[in-house]
């Protein structure tokens, strides 16, 4: 199922997420997406604090979540969501991702196969929590103010 929501990542942000995923491979990386509307302007890489095996799990602890919110406020922006990597797994959300998802947030997933970042996707939780819907990921510098409203749609 697809969502009409979108997320815009500029080339440097996209590269930074890929690099982060490659650096932490074979473990999952994670970080916060900060920006305005549907446009990501800043990334906050965060430590993966999971105790369940970082090859298959990531966890952002509450103090890091607060840090991300604070950073967004300092920049006069919003916390738009989080990114994480799927080492040697496709860039599709898992049941585990769904069970732990928050509404409105954008979830960017980058697949890292044998240490090399590959496809990147973005997902949004459906309001009734039943499913993740794939959004469209836009690369490049242009933001689309007209679609920014759909972020909370």
CB of 23 to other proteins, least distance (A): 14
Minimum CB separation from other proteins for residue 4, in Å?
Answer: 16
Pick between residue 129 and residue 144 the one whose CB is nearest to other proteins: 129
Q: Is the Cβ of residue 82 or residue 138 nearer to other proteins in the bound state?
A: 82
Structure tokens belonging to residue 99: 């069970």
Residues found near other proteins in the complex (CB under 8 A):
26-28, 30, 50-62, 65-66, 69, 72, 78-79, 82, 84, 86-87, 89, 93-97, 100-105, 107, 127-129, 152
Own/partner long-range contacts of 11-14 (Cβ < 8 Å, ≥24 apart): 11/139, 11/140, 11/141, 13/40, 13/41, 13/42, 13/43, 14/120, 14/139
Report cis status (omega within 30 of 0) of the bond before 97: no
For residue 84, give the nearest of 73, 72, 96 by alpha carbon: 96
User: C-beta of 32: minimal distance to other proteins in Å?
Assistant: 8
Nearer to other proteins, 13 or 108 (CB): 108
**CB of 123 vs other proteins, minimal distance in Å:** 10
CA-based nearest residue to 145, from 23, 35, 37 = 37
Closer of 2 and 95 to other proteins (Cβ): 95
């Amino acid at each position: 199922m697809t969502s009409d929501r979108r997320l815009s990542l500029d080339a440097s942000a996209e590269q930074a997420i890929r690099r982060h995923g490659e650096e932490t491979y074979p473990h999952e990386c994670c970080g916060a997406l900060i920006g305005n509307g549907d446009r990501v302007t800043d990334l906050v890489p965060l430590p993966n604090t999971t105790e369940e095996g970082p090859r298959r799990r990531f966890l952002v602890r509450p103090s890091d979540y607060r840090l991300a919110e604070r950073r967004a406020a300092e920049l006069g922006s919003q916390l738009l969501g989080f990114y994480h990597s799927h080492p040697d797994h496709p860039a599709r959300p898992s049941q585990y991702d769904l069970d732990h998802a928050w509404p409105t947030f954008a979830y960017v997933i980058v697949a890292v196969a044998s240490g090399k970042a590959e496809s990147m996707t973005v997902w949004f939780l459906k309001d009734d929590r039943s499913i993740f819907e794939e959004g469209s990921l836009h690369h490049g510098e242009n933001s689309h103010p007209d679609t920014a409203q759909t972020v909370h749609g």
